[in-house]
């Protein structure tokens, strides 16, 4: 994968050196002398990484950072600051820079920093575009601001071993997001093992998760590895976690806390290094109130909550999703490429989609199949309930109530939960931005390193060392 880098440096000689070094490393690099020129370039070309000097004639490098999210969402910026200007570096990080280096720098140091960013950029691209592998998480469409923000969150939490809980209505793309977390993590080369807790009867679920030894029960003629062992070093995706029974919830809690367990029929403790991503479309808070879900397990799983908005709250996604799903379906079934008529679009965009993306996918695929060799999908090819939406457009969805999110749907505001979530987000963001360097991350939040580390521990945040990430201990 060819990573595109833009260098913004007014010193002609230094810019040349940077470009040569990047060429040797096989990056596709370009250089400009001013921030104004960079804005033009960023608008025209899909750069992955921006490396900018702070002091520039005209617009400064720091001001350039402010334009980045609009010009190139997701671009990773590295800022070059003069030696001894910690404040500038901190300011740069606050404005979204992924990292900084101080002048004068050794070329090796800069290339190392770029390499870390390039690895992250490559993983992000693989997820956004499907990449060569075209994995199940490939082609993740995220046009709506709410989805873009969610992807930013995915990228921020991916480098941690921290447990992630993905919530959202049925068909919103929870599994896709879970896969993206894995793909963007340092574990991406290792296995992603998935288990749908609702699809396996309770008595078998324990065996599925932890495995058994020979003779553990009648008929156990040989031993068997559970999903936790299969996922060792990688990620375990536990889908529909809300359907797990209470006894097994206790066992799961223990693995999350101790990272060890015993197989059925054995007293030997097995240790594993697994990152758990859980998903549910159930309202776990309500399950807790009903006594069907352990609150302590909920807090363990919910270290980070990625909440997928329903499709009706991100209508900007409907068109690109429908186009993408339609093209994919036609290509895979040998149908000709198809377009969608204006009135059909109107109802697709105004329908409520209670079944979310999955329902949209079904509607589009059904219409594509129905129309056979025709190359246009018309209003009458859409399911009846969708067609009616054009006649009577749905009322706009009520705005979500502020402050209720950590507790899931409902009117209660849980003050502690909200504060904890904000705290957690800040810690994660600062760590993520500094590549796990706790000293810098603490600085960024204006707190002592020891206080910072204490908070990490209390909130159960664990940083995984990235291959080239500095620990700063
Ligand atoms: N953002 C997206 N971009 C592209 N395709 C998507 C996106 N979100 C969902 N899909 C597609 O929609 C379908 C449903 O997605 P997924 O299985 O991830 O949803 P889910 O929330 O896990 O659903 P369920 O609640 O039924 O388990 C899949 O075929 C997936 O490929
Ligand atoms: Mg699912």
- Taking the C-alpha atoms of residue 212 and residue 226, their distance in angstroms, rounded to an integer, is 7
Per-residue pLDDT of the chain (473 residues; tens, 9 = 90+): 689 999 999 999 999 999 998 998 899 999 999 999 999 999 989 899 999 999 999 999 999 998 887 777 678 899 998 766 677 877 887 787 888 888 888 888 888 889 888 887 887 777 665 433 334 445 789 888 889 889 888 988 888 888 999 999 999 999 999 999 999 888 999 999 999 998 888 888 999 999 999 988 888 888 899 999 999 999 999 999 999 999 999 999 999 999 999 999 999 999 999 999 999 999 999 999 999 999 999 999 988 899 999 999 999 999 999 999 999 899 888 889 999 999 999 999 999 999 999 999 999 999 999 898 899 999 999 999 899 876 665 555 555 444 444 434 444 556 666 677 777 878 887 887 777 888 888 888 888 888 888 888 888 777 665 433 343 33
Atom of ligand 1 nearest to the CA of 308: 21
362 lines ligand 1 (CB under 6 A): no
Question: Is 310's C-beta closer than 6 angstroms to any atom of ligand 1?
Answer: no
Ordered domains of the chain (ranges, CATH): 4-129 (3.40.50.2300), 145-309 (3.40.50.300), 312-391 (1.10.8.60), 405-458 (1.10.10.60)
Are 117 and 126 within 8 A, CB to CB? no
- Ligand closest to the CA atom of residue 168: 1
- What pLDDT is attached to residue 139? 77
Is the Cβ atom of 330 under 6 angstroms away from ligand 1? no
**Helix 145-157 crosses helix 174-183 at what angle (to 10 degrees)?**
40
pLDDT of residue 128: 64
d(CA 205, CA 196): 9
Rounded to the nearest angstrom, the distance between the alpha carbon of 228 and the centre of ligand 1 is 24
Which residues are registered as beta bridge partners of 4? 28
Model pLDDT, residue 131: 37
- What is the pLDDT at residue 274? 96
> Quick one: pLDDT at residue 99?
82
Can you tell me which atom of ligand 1 is nearest the CA of 168? Answer: 21
Q: Please give the model's pTM, rounded to 2 decimal places.
A: 0.67
Confirm or reject: Cβ of 155 under 6 Å from ligand 1. Answer: no
Q: What angle do CA 124, 64, 445 make, to 5 degrees?
A: 70
Is residue 200 a contact partner of residue 240, using CB atoms and an 8 Å limit? Answer: no
What is the 358 CA–ligand 1 centroid distance (Å)?
A: 6
Q: What is the pLDDT of residue 123?
A: 75
Atom of ligand 1 nearest to the CA of 317: 1
Residues facing residue 6 across a β-bridge: 30, 50
Closest protein CA for atom 30 of ligand 1? 173
Give the per-residue pLDDT at 209.
Answer: 95
């Amino acid at each position: 994968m060819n990573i595109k880098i833009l260098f913004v440096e007014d010193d002609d000689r230094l810019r040349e050196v940077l470009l040569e070094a990047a060429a040797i490393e096989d990056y596709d690099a370009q250089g400009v002398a001013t921030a104004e020129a960079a804005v033009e370039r960023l608008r025209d070309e899909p750069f992955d990484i921006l490396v900018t000097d702070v002091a520039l004639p005209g617009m400064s490098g720091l001001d350039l950072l402010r334009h980045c999210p609009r010009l190139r969402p997701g671009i990773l910026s590295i800022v070059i600051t003069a030696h001894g200007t910690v404040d500038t570096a901190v300011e740069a990080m606050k404005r979204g820079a992924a990292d900084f280096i101080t002048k004068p720098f050794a070329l090796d140091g800069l290339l190392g920093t770029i390499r870390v960013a390039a690895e992250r950029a490559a993983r992000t691209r693989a997820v956004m575009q499907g990449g060569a592998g075209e994995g199940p998480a490939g082609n993740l469409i995220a046009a709506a601001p709410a989805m873009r923000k969610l992807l930013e969150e995915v990228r921020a939490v991916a480098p941690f071993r921290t447990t992630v809980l993905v919530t959202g209505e049925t068909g919103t793309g929870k599994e896709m997001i879970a896969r993206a977390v894995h793909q963007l993590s340092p574990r991406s080369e290792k296995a992603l093992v998935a288990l749908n807790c609702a699809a396996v009867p309770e008595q078998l679920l324990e065996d599925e998760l932890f495995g058994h030894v020979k003779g553990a029960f009648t008929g156990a003629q040989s031993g068997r590895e559970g999903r936790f062992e299969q996922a060792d070093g990688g990620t375990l995706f536990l889908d529909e976690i809300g359907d797990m029974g209470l006894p097994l919830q206790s066992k799961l809690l223990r693995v999350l806390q101790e990272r060890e367990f015993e197989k059925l029929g054995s007293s030997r403790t097995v240790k594993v290094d697994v990152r758990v991503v859980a998903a549910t479309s159930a309202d776990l808070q309500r399950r807790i109130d009903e006594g069907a879900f352990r609150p302590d397990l909920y807090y363990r799983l919910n270290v980070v909550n990625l909440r997928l908005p329903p499709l009706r709250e991100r209508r900007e996604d409907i068109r690109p999703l429908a186009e993408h799903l339609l093209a994919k379906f036609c290509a895979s079934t040998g149908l000709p490429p198809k377009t969608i008529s204006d009135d059909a679009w109107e109802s697709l965009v105004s329908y409520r989609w209670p079944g979310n993306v999955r329902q949209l996918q079904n509607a589009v695929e059904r219409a594509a199949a129905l129309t056979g060799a025709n190359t246009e999908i018309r209003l009458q090819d859409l399911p009846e309930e969708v067609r009616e939406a054009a006649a009577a457009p749905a009322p706009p969805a009520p705005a979500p109530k502020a402050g209720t999110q950590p507790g899931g749907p409902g009117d209660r505001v849980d003050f502690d939960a909200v504060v904890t979530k904000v705290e957690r987000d800040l810690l994660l963001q600062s760590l993520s931005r500094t590549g796990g360097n706790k000293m810098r991350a603490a600085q960024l939040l204006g707190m002592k390193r020891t206080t910072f580390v204490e908070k990490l521990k209390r909130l159960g945040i664990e940083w995984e060392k990235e291959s080239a990430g500095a620990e700063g201990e």
